[in-house]
Structure formats: C-alpha cells, structure tokens
C-alpha cells in the first residue's frame, strides 16, 4: 500500500530528525558546561 510506505518513510525521517536534535542538544550542553563553570 503506497500510503503505508509514505507513512513509514515519514516516521523514519521524524525519528532521524529527533535523533539529530537530541545529538545537537547534547553538543550544545557540552559547550555550555565550561561557560557555566567559568561564570561561577
């Protein structure tokens, strides 16, 4: 079923986007930690 295939692709893309966003947020947090420590 074509619609099912499209939904599966959309879900996979959303999962990839969510994973990329989590990775990005982890990297941002790592960059902010030294800044916070320096500010204290």
Query: Could you report how far apart the first and last alpha carbons of the chain are, in Å?
Result: 58
pLDDT of amino acid 40:
85
Is the pLDDT at 36 greater than 80, yes or no?
A: no
Side-chain half-sphere CA neighbours of 7 within 13 A: 4
pLDDT at 37 over 80: yes
> What would the pLDDT profile of 3-12 be if each residue is shown by its tens digit?
988 888 888 8
> Is a pLDDT exceeding 90 seen at residue 23?
yes
Name the H helices within 1-40.
2-39
Res 25: pLDDT: 94
Does 24 have pLDDT greater than 90? yes
Domain boundaries along the sequence of the chain:
1-40
């Amino acid at each position: 079923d074509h619609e099912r295939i499209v939904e599966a692709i959309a879900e996979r893309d959303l999962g990839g986007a969510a994973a990329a966003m989590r990775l990005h947020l982890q990297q941002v947090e790592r960059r902010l930690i030294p800044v916070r420590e320096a500010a204290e």
